[in-house]
Structure 1
Amino acid sequence: MATTTTDYRICPDTGLQFHRSAENLMKANAVAGVVFLLIGGILALLVTLTRWPAVHLLPADTFYQALTAHGLDMLVFWIIFFEIAVLYFASSTLLRSRLATPKIAWLGFALMIIGAVTTNIAIWRGRSSVMMTSYVPMPAEPTLYLGLILFAVGALIGCFVFLGTLVVARAERTYQGSIPLVTFGALTACIIAIFTIASGAIILIPTFLWSAGYISHIDPLMYRVIWWGFGHSSQQINVAAHVSVWYLVAALVFGAKPMSEKVSRGAFLLYILFLQLASAHHILVDPGVSSEWKIFNTSYAMYLAVLASMVHGLTVPGAIEVAQREKGFNKGLFEWIRKAPWGNPVFSGMFISLIGFGFLGGISGVVMGTEQINIIIHNTIYVPGHFHATVVIGTTLAFMAVTYFLIPALFRRELIWKGLAKWQPYLFGLGMSAFALFMMGAGTLGVQRRHWDMGFTGAMLGYEYPGSAYLMMGIMGIAGVAAVIGGGLYILITVGSILFGKKLPGAQFHDLPTPVPQAAAALQGHGHAGFAAPGTFALALVFLVSFVVYYFINWKYLASVWPLG
């Protein structure tokens, strides 16, 4: 084992152990992610102020540039940089292991940086406003595809370093029993990532050659089918990653153990087998795939992925409830949640993420994934409303929450502006919830997804939406500005804390890893509970009723806009 005499340190607050190489890579990836979050957040404000009818800020050409860069910087660069940091944490730190091949990991990071910068330069050169989907035959500069390919290769290297670290930890017996559930969830994200990157390579490499003039033709239907294996599955990496963060926060804040390790691991396994098939809802109106394929993927297969998310949505708050009740919070159904540390942004951010992802993202995702209902909301603004509920409320807010834990534990800095930090998850989470909700409402009324001017000003064939659509888009604009302010506070607090926060003791490194301490036991334990979480089951019933009512409302709406006879 190639180590120096200063390879490991123990966090005195949590008992977690950090390997120097892994720690530096975690910091680098997390910081890079926040930089792209900042860029994407500024672009989000510009896009929001343009889609807000009363403001309508940007001209068409600049709007499409901003929208293209916003989608890639947020949905790809910010999130995957942070996810690579999560993979290194879940392997090296939670398994108390040295990181496998740090030099190769740095090569992967360099390729990700080069790829992300190259892609942004291609967009702002003015000839690559093709949106995140980059559908052919609409061409972009070759450097846009090249940048995405380089970034994907770098991310793939990070995945293999993570897998290598699991092998090292097993060989050197740095942990007891099976890998922790959080690490198992990260492994799920890694497996989905490898599938996703392979899908991207299959289509982006020939598209790069086509844009450079070496290939004469790319079939658009073939492109769409394969690209969505990359485009949508990349968001399934996020789901597995942020669910892992939910379990991590439950363990760190409450010492909570899963209600059933086997059930939670089984749900992650369902993600691996079925979650990527949700890509089907993007091509339900395409003639390039058969009706049998569409029906299978939007019914039997999709429901198994939905089942997995519902299991996690039950077991995470259920584990918290069991832990709280063991501490004496037993009055009624909900004292456990009323007495939770709502002033701790690590918990509040995680819990708002869980509720928003389930009620807004999950329910709307099932509706969008139903072949018949999809017809009435396909390519409306309902679609970005849905994925802002899943990727922004679900993933981004969960990552924000765990950052408040990582700043003292990883960076050994005290948070600045602790009062603002307490309110930041509420401003961002609730603002984004209203943003997504009213965007989905406007989409239900038919507001188009990508057109920069919902009023079609100056068009020969105009279309007038009902007044309620303009009202919803206005509320969406206000909520979007509030969410951007919340995101800006997160960046100010985290960057300010890293640069100017009070230094905390315990940053010294030493020579050898240490045995697993009691403080970290919750991350590696195996919990079990029967009907010990009645409050959680009551909330689950509320979710089920909400889902059923909204689902059949959409069937009723379909019948009204698509009459037969």
Structure 2
Amino acid sequence: MATIAVPQPQDDANFRTCPVTALKVDLAAEKLIIANAVAAVVFLAIGGLFALLLALTRWQAIHLLNPVWFYRILTAHGFDMLVCWIVFFEVAGLYFGSAVMLNARLVQPKIGWAAFILMAGGALMTNIMVMLGEADVMFTAYVPLKAHPLFYLGIVLFAVGALIAVILFFATVITAKRERRYEGSAPLVTYGLIAAAIIAVYTLLSGALAFVPALLWSLDWIPPLDPGYYRNLFWGFGHPAQQINLAAMVAIWYALAAITVGAVPLNEKLSRLAFILYVLFINLGSAHHLLTDPGYSFLWKVTNTSYAMYLAVLGSLIHAFSIPGAVEAAQRRKGYTKSLFEWIRKAPWREPGFSALVISMVLFGWIGGVTGVTIGTEQVNMLAHNTMRLPGHFHATVVSGTTLAFMGLTYYLIPLIFRRELKLKSWASRQPYVFGFGMLLVSIGMIASGLQGVPRRHWDITFASSTFKAFIPSTAEFMLGIMGIGAIIAIVGGVMYLTVVLTSVLTGKRQEARRLTLVMSQENPLVDDAIPANGKEATGKIAPKGTVVLVFGFLMFFVIYYFSNWWLLGRTWMIN
């Protein structure tokens, strides 16, 4: 557990005191948090527009874009959503988790601004090249597909800026410890961000090994690259980039649980161990992108995707019990002990941070996590990898899980960091449900159409001969329609989020935050009262019995889905 120390008086000119958390907030860090958060939201809006265009194209009844613009928009969408939106927000989170949460000063803010300029400049350069038609190579940019040199240069500049920001985060954490801004271990949220930053270093260096040679090749300065070698290096960047998101998302889950219901981890040491499992094993799951490649031995594939990756999955299972268990314990301490699940019924479901937490965890775990582990086995992967099952998986993880968690945290950064009154609170309370429901339909539509053979990287399912069409049933078009409807609903949720954020930042009253939860006046409360009417709190040791039942149900679903895939696989082999 961390104990925050009070900064020395001579530092007060560079700090402000948050009236809610009583933390000293470094004003230089605050400005960088705001800049990176704003950039993140801008790219979320751009990527969201592209997402709608893509969904309306894969929805066969509409089929909006032609092939050229489909791949062009797909390239920009992947970069803006998987890289720009999430990394900018994560950098803002790193500065918050180091400087603000540790009561510390941000080391060398000018370097932070240099990192921001590199990231913003690189992101703009890459987007411009894509939209000019100079880089229709999709997010993976597999060689021998060649883009304009400025496309690769933009990605490299962005990665360099992100790496500088990560190094600045580490320097701030180390300096905070040396200057005794906190005692003991770093807070659990900061600890999770440290794990994310460690993964980020590996990821960004792997990206450099892939994109720097690609840049030189695009300039004709070096011979053509070996496609298999490039794929290996790229997925050392592409998949671990999402594992940065995973560690950061889980850290935010702990933060949202603490903010909304006052949850404290049941066993903080176990939660920290789960983050260590991420650092040691999560990147090895990158191998599932290479399972169909001929250049790797069976032993290498199985070791990485069936054994090492499962240790990282164990980390996620620990968090899947720890966070709901902490929420249940917090609720039971408030007196909600009448039944096994009263703590769920009486939870603050209209509090956007709480609903975002729960929906993020459910969609990430029950859809994204279960499908990801299943697809990570070689035999299933051979059938599933180039179908829509893969986008369905990572839209459940990155979009439904990570993005929704980041959205939930934003509602608290506005009053705490932007120091603006949160506007449209009723919209904020409904937004996670709208966005989450839309992404549920998107993920199910993609996964179900992929199960029916719909390819993942083709703009059409009527492109092939009549022989091939026979393998794609007519119900596939129905599931693509479900995906398209879900995308529209999710876009509505995204617009609600952007509207709340922009309205609050641009027109919200300038004021200091007064509380963490986003409760309105007593005449029009946004959430239910956190304490029962009798005002009595439960005492003694709290046993999270309800969480045990929920986790057991999740594990049963996991087992049924996993082995049903093997049953379907056996039928496929028998047919062939």
Paired letter, 1:544: L
TM-score normalised over the length of structure 1:
0.94
Indicate yes or no: 2:474 matched with 1:463.
no
Aligned match of 2:544:
533
Cα gap change, 1:543 to 1:61, in 2 (>3 Å):
same
| Deviation sequence 1:479-535 (CA, Å, 0-9, x none) | 11100111111011101100011222379xxxxxxxxxxxxxxxxxxxxx9871011
| Deviation sequence 1:252-290 (CA, Å, 0-9, x none) | 222211111110010000000000111111110001211
Rounded to whole Å, the distance in 2 between the matches of 1:445 and 1:462 is 12
Indicate yes or no: 2:87 matched with 1:80.
yes
Aligned match of 2:127:
120
Partner SS state of residue 179, structure 1: coil
Aligned match of 1:132:
139
Rounded to whole Å, the distance in 1 between the matches of 2:80 and 2:495 is 15
| Deviation sequence 1:58-97 (CA, Å, 0-9, x none) | 1110111000000000000000000000001110111000
Aligned match of 1:563:
574
Indicate yes or no: 2:393 matched with 1:382.
no
Rounded to whole Å, the distance in 1 between the matches of 2:571 and 2:541 is 44
Paired letter, 1:230: F
Deviation at 1:127, TM superposition (A): 2.2
Give the counterpart of 2:269 among 257, 262, 267. 262
Aligned match of 1:65:
72
Rounded to whole Å, the distance in 2 between the matches of 1:473 and 1:531 is 46
Aligned match of 1:548:
559
Aligned match of 1:186:
193
| Deviation sequence 1:387-438 (CA, Å, 0-9, x none) | 0000011100000000011111111111111111111000001110111012
Aligned match of 2:440:
433
Partner SS state of residue 25, structure 2: strand
Percent identity, please. Answer: 53
C-alpha contact 2:416 2:512 (8 A) present in aligned 1:
no
Deviation at 1:16, TM superposition (A): 3.4
Rounded to whole Å, the distance in 2 between the matches of 1:541 and 1:133 is 37
Deviation at 1:4, TM superposition (A): 6.7
1:36-185 alignment runs, 5 A limit: 36-185=43-192
1:507-518 alignment runs, 5 A limit: none
| Deviation sequence 1:355-407 (CA, Å, 0-9, x none) | 11110111001111011111121110110100000001110000000001111
Aligned match of 2:520:
none
Rounded to whole Å, the distance in 2 between the matches of 1:129 and 1:276 is 28
Greater CA drift, 463-472 or 157-166: 463-472
| Structure 2 unaligned regions, length at least 5 | 1-7, 515-539
C-alpha contact 2:415 2:513 (8 A) present in aligned 1:
no
Aligned match of 1:522:
none
| Structure 1 unaligned regions, length at least 5 | 508-528
Deviation at 1:2, TM superposition (A): 13
Deviation at 1:250, TM superposition (A): 1.2
Paired letter, 1:546: F
Aligned match of 2:536:
none
Question: With CA pairs under 8 Å and 6+ residues apart, which has the higher RCO, 1 or 2?
Answer: 1
Rounded to whole Å, the distance in 1 between the matches of 2:50 and 2:112 is 30
| Deviation sequence 1:158-178 (CA, Å, 0-9, x none) | 000000001110111011221
Aligned match of 2:509:
502
Indicate yes or no: 2:259 matched with 1:248.
no
Paired letter, 1:463: K
Cα gap change, 1:356 to 1:2, in 2 (>3 Å):
same
Paired letter, 1:304: L
Partner SS state of residue 213, structure 1: coil
Partner SS state of residue 450, structure 1: coil
Aligned match of 1:200:
207
Paired letter, 2:94: L
Indicate yes or no: 2:237 matched with 1:226.
no
Rounded to whole Å, the distance in 2 between the matches of 1:424 and 1:293 is 44
Deviation at 1:5, TM superposition (A): 5.4
Deviation at 1:451, TM superposition (A): 0.5
| Deviation sequence 1:171-210 (CA, Å, 0-9, x none) | 1101122100100000000000000001001111011000
C-alpha contact 2:329 2:542 (8 A) present in aligned 1:
no
Would you identify which runs of 4 or more consecutive aligned residues in structure 1 move more than 4 Å? 1-5, 459-462
Rounded to whole Å, the distance in 1 between the matches of 2:565 and 2:317 is 21
Deviation at 1:463, TM superposition (A): 1.7
C-alpha contact 1:413 1:502 (8 A) present in aligned 2:
yes
C-alpha contact 1:456 1:462 (8 A) present in aligned 2:
no
The two structures, once aligned, show a CA RMSD in angstroms of 1.7
1:8-19 alignment runs, 5 A limit: 8-19=15-26
Aligned match of 2:376:
369
Indicate yes or no: 2:490 matched with 1:483.
yes
Cα gap change, 1:3 to 1:276, in 2 (>3 Å):
farther
Aligned match of 2:219:
212
Rounded to whole Å, the distance in 1 between the matches of 2:12 and 2:301 is 58
C-alpha contact 2:372 2:393 (8 A) present in aligned 1:
yes
Cα gap change, 1:70 to 1:564, in 2 (>3 Å):
closer
Paired letter, 2:475: S
Partner SS state of residue 18, structure 1: strand
C-alpha contact 1:259 1:530 (8 A) present in aligned 2:
no
C-alpha contact 1:9 1:506 (8 A) present in aligned 2:
no
Paired letter, 1:343: R
Aligned match of 1:408:
415
TM-score normalised over the length of structure 2:
0.92
C-alpha contact 1:455 1:462 (8 A) present in aligned 2:
no
- Equivalent pairs, count: 543
Give the counterpart of 1:26 among 26, 33, 40. 33
Rounded to whole Å, the distance in 1 between the matches of 2:226 and 2:474 is 40
Paired letter, 2:27: R
Paired letter, 1:233: P
Aligned match of 2:317:
310
Partner SS state of residue 13, structure 2: coil
Rounded to whole Å, the distance in 1 between the matches of 2:467 and 2:138 is 25
C-alpha contact 2:47 2:80 (8 A) present in aligned 1:
yes
| Deviation sequence 1:46-66 (CA, Å, 0-9, x none) | 000000010000111011100
